[in-house]
Structure 1
Amino acid sequence: MIDLNKTTFAFDDLTGDAAKHLAHLISFDTVSCKSNRALIDYMAAFFGDLGGRITILPDKTGTKANLIAAFGPEDKAGIVWSGHTDVVPADEPEWESAPFVAEIKGDKLFGRGSCDMKGFAACVMAVAPQLAQAVLARPIYLCFSYDEEVGCLGAPAIAKYLGQLPMPPELAIIGEPSMMKLITGQKGKIAMRAHVTGMAGHSSFAPEHVNAIEFASKVVERISERGRLYEKEGPFDQDFTVPHATMLVTMMQGGVATNVTPDNCTLTFELRSISGMDPERDMEGLLDGITREIVPPMQEKIPGTGIRFEKIFSYPAMGDARGTQGFQRYGDLLPAWGGKVSYGSEGGVFEQIGGIPAVIVGPGSIDQAHKPNEFVEIGQLATCVQFLSDLISFTSSDQV
């Protein structure tokens, strides 16, 4: 294990600072099921000591919170640098190092969250002293949320807060791992669970029962049909690798024994949407059809049986910001275009709730996210701190 605070780096000071900040951020175990307050309080103190205007937005329990640190004037439309503080679990036995202890091997820094997405937060912290000393012509808002990994639960409060400012920001940069390429679209998601309740009994008397798995399979077929319809009829956006919405069942559980008619079955399914759709209406139409056509035969046979739907979470798709005023203002500083992505981010939340167009630019590859031995390349941190530094210089110039 390497003590990064005592390491002499072969790269520039800002990149070294980013690596040291990242090591400290990784040491906070902020798996989504745990509190992120220690990390938020640490970052709030860091940015506050530099003169940032600090706003903390706690959840209802007070155990989790969002952080907003604002620099620069309040009477101009500014720019958002946004990241999430939570990480996925690190329980895999394949980890070759302690997941919450940063370690450098060659040109890579390992640790849970190094890529997704504490690397971006560390780069923000590395350039924060420059930000604090700059005379900004427009404000820069540093925003860090909770529970992105379990459905973008914290970001709506940030987007609402910023959207209600007298002068809301005009662009948000989401620091999700994109290999420091510009991403201008992201799919939205609705995650659902269906609880199918039947009537059990000895399987030799199956015609007298309501088989929950059998009726659940009818639900699965409806979901599959809808997915095939998206594939055939769209709408389409060819900038995505999969250029249309998708709908599929991802998990299914039911039954207790080989000789018992199952009285329960639970299935989980998702809709991943593209910008311009009305995914909530599509989902409502699917559920209404199932309720009208699949549930009545169950209840006619045995009252009390049926299907109950539960929304697990949802977040909106992120549209293409390239035609917006904010994008035009900063467009020359943004990196080469890297397309659109199917993974989720908080970009759609900023757009839909705050009215703030968003793009994704961040260090590291999404291929490393949510895996054992997660890492970010040091070169990606270097590229990110240079990008953020250039944004500060531009925002301090007469051109902005």
Structure 2
Amino acid sequence: MHHLDDTKALLRHLIAFPTVSTDSNLAMIEFLADQLSAVGARVDIHRDATGAKANLFATLGPDTDGGILLSGHSDVVPVADQNWSTDPFEMVERDGKLYGRGTCDMKGFIAAAVAMAPFYAARVKDRPIHFAFTHDEETGCIGAQALAQVLRAQGIRPGIAIIGEPTSMRIIEGHKGCYEYSTHFTGLEGHGSGPDRGVNAVEYAVRYVARLLELKEQLKGRAPANGRFEPPWTTINTGALIGGVAHNVIPGKARVDWEMRPVQNGDADFVKSNLHEFCTHTLIPAMRSVSPDADIVTEVIGEVDGLIPADDNEAKEILMELTGANGADTVAFGTEAGIFQSLGTAAVVCGPGSIEQAHKPDEYLSLDQLEQCLNMLERLGDKLAA
């Protein structure tokens, strides 16, 4: 395969950029911009408000609506406290595997897509091919949501999107959303011997969690008929309840970290409106009857739409043709695909490597998976030329 060596060389460069979500990704984005500009792509770099992070959006071919989008995130999860046998930011090839942080999640796909750019540049005709490389997917798909706003404002709507998360090259047409929150409770501290003279933030947080548990059960009855997810209903998880300083002190502060994974957008509205009503009309009035400064504030950590399986999905049809697959699956983990679907773009997730290797020490991408990905992308280039 004549693109494999180029892809491995590119991947080696990409792994060397330590783009952990807490750090800048600019050097990697600028490197990719140079690679794509060199083959004639129109490249735009969109920085975030801090100036330390950026998205890249590039296009080969005509400036028309539609087209095919290849998408990946540039950030990786931390390596701290992980027991790696090699330097995580130096790609090592051994026994048919490429080791390094981000090899499968998901710099392998990015390297393959960019390695194919010269091939696409020579074949693209009346349908453009786009490249989208984002920041901060691992911390709430922040970059992709910002990029979607830019594309809407510019009137750019790709016809199909291929998000190259590690799926072992299976075609994924659906996954749940991921909505994460931290709810902060401000009460009034006091001595534990006089509980009625204070506002116990932990106790109100417990009542809030109790409502979450009630909603968790109610959501089971809202599962769509013939749902394909496992479980088929929207789930709620309480990840942490933090508060208090001592046995005999009324806690003035508490926090509940929680998430829900909607199977349909209406479920998220159902949960949020119920909690708003409960806090506004029950919890907060009771708290403020003792302390007017008491409050409950919910911080949105991230709200990422799910990828909803669609009966008419051009992206799925094209990927089935390119890979030879005879169907598509759903998965539990989240991606940026639902964000692109919200633009009116047909989206699927399909990329090299297994999610089982992602986020772990000695993360790797097998050469066999990378070759399968390149085969698919080569057939896509032939389709562009047709």
Give the Å deviation of 1:103: 1.4
User: Which of 10, 24, 48 is matched with 1:35 structurally?
Assistant: 24
The structure-2 alpha-carbon separation of the partners of 1:195 and 1:237, relative to structure 1 and needing over 3 Å to count, comes to farther
Aligned twin of 1:265: 254
TM-score (norm 1): 0.90
- How much is the aligned-residue C-alpha RMSD, in angstroms? 2.0
- Equivalent residue for 1:348, pick from 327, 330, 338: 338
Matches of 1:275 and 1:247 in 2, distance apart?
13
Looking at structure 2, the residues matched to 297 and 58 of structure 1 have their Cα atoms a distance apart, in angstroms, of: 44
Aligned residue in 2 for 1:97: 86
What's the secondary structure of 2:329's corresponding residue? coil
Matched, 1:319 2:311: no
Question: 1:381 Cα shift?
Answer: 0.6
Task: Assess, with a 3 A threshold, how the Cα gap between structure 1 residues 237 and 110 changes in structure 2: closer, same or farther.
Answer: farther
Residue 161 of structure 2 aligns with an amino acid whose one-letter code is A
Secondary structure of 1:176's partner?
coil
Residue pair 1:180, 1:335 contacting (<8 A) in 2 also: no
Structure 1 113/287 Cα, relative in aligned 2: closer, same or farther at 3 Å?
Answer: same
Runs ≥4 in structure 1, deviation > 6 angstroms? none
SS at match of 2:221: helix
CA distance in 1, matches of 2:190, 2:63: 68
- Tell me the distance in 2 between the aligned counterparts of 1:364 and 1:245: 28
Cα displacement string for residues 221-261 of structure 1 (whole angstroms, at most 9, x for unaligned residues) = 11111111112332355321221111121122111122322
Contact 1:237 1:244 in 2 (8 A): no
CA shift in 2, pair 1:121/1:349, >3 Å = same
1:180-329 aligned at under 5 Å gives the runs: 180-235=169-224, 238-275=227-264, 277-325=266-314, 327-328=316-317
Question: Is the CA contact (8 Å cut-off) linking 2:215 and 2:271 kept in structure 1?
Answer: no
State whether structure 2 residue 376 is matched by structure 1 residue 387.
Answer: yes
* CA contact 1:235–1:277 (8 Å) conserved in 2: no
> Among residues 22, 44, 47, which one is paired with 1:55 in the alignment?
44
Offset of residue 72 of structure 1: 1.7
What residue ranges of structure 2 are gaps of 5+ in the alignment? none
Rounded Cα–Cα distance in structure 1 between residues aligned with 2:76 and 2:289? 47
**Structure 2 Cα separation of the partners of residues 282 and 334 of structure 1:** 39
Contact 2:82/2:360 (CA < 8 Å) preserved in 1?
no
| Paired AA for residue 221 in structure 1 | A
Query: CA shift at 1:362, angstroms?
Result: 0.6
Query: 1:278, CA displacement in angstroms?
Result: 5.0
Pair 265,135 (structure 1): closer, same or farther in 2 beyond 3 Å: closer
Q: Is the alpha carbon distance of 1:158 and 1:200 closer, same or farther for their aligned partners in structure 2, counting shifts above 3 Å?
A: closer
Contact 1:177 1:366 in 2 (8 A): yes
Q: 2:105 aligns to what SS in structure 1? A: coil
The alpha-carbon distance between structure 1 residues 17 and 209, as it changes in their structure 2 partners (threshold 3 A), is same
Aligned amino acid, residue 359 of structure 1 = V
Residue 216 of structure 1 aligns to a residue in which SS? helix
For 1:312 and 1:125, the matched residues in 2 are separated by 31
Do the aligned partners of 1:185 and 1:318 also contact (CA within 8 Å) in 2?
A: yes
Moved more, 64-73 or 325-334: 325-334
Does the residue aligned with 1:115 lie in a helix, a strand or coil? Answer: helix
The question of whether the paired residues in 1 share the 8 Å contact of 2:234 and 2:267 is answered with no
Rounded Cα–Cα distance in structure 1 between residues aligned with 2:323 and 2:155: 26
Q: 1:241 to 1:281 in 2, by over 3 A?
A: closer
Contact 1:275–1:318 (CA<8 Å) still a contact in 2?
Answer: no
Cα distance change on mapping 1:165 and 1:304 into 2, 3 Å: closer
Deviations 1:359-398 (A, max 9, x none): 100111112222222111111111101101110111111x
> Does residue 154 of structure 1 match 2:162?
no
The letter of the residue matching 1:376 is L
Alpha-carbon distance in 2 for matches of 1:261, 1:213: 9
**Alignment pair present for 1:121 and 2:110:** yes
Aligned identity (percent) is 38
1:328 Cα deviation from its structure 2 partner: 4.3
Pair 1:322–1:114, CA change in 2 (3 A): farther
Q: Which runs of 5+ in 1 are unaligned?
A: 1-11
Separation in 2, partners of 1:189, 1:239: 17
* Corresponding letter in the other structure for 1:41: E
The answer for the alignment partner of 2:133 in structure 1 is: 144
> Is the counterpart of residue 68 in structure 1 residue 48 in structure 2?
no
CA distance in 2, matches of 1:317, 1:252: 26
Q: Cα deviation per residue 1:134-170 (whole Å; 9 max; x = unaligned)?
A: 2434111011111111111111343344446667321
Q: Equivalent residue for 1:4?
A: none
Counterpart CA distance in 2 for 1:396 and 1:79 is 13
Q: Number of residues paired by the alignment?
A: 385
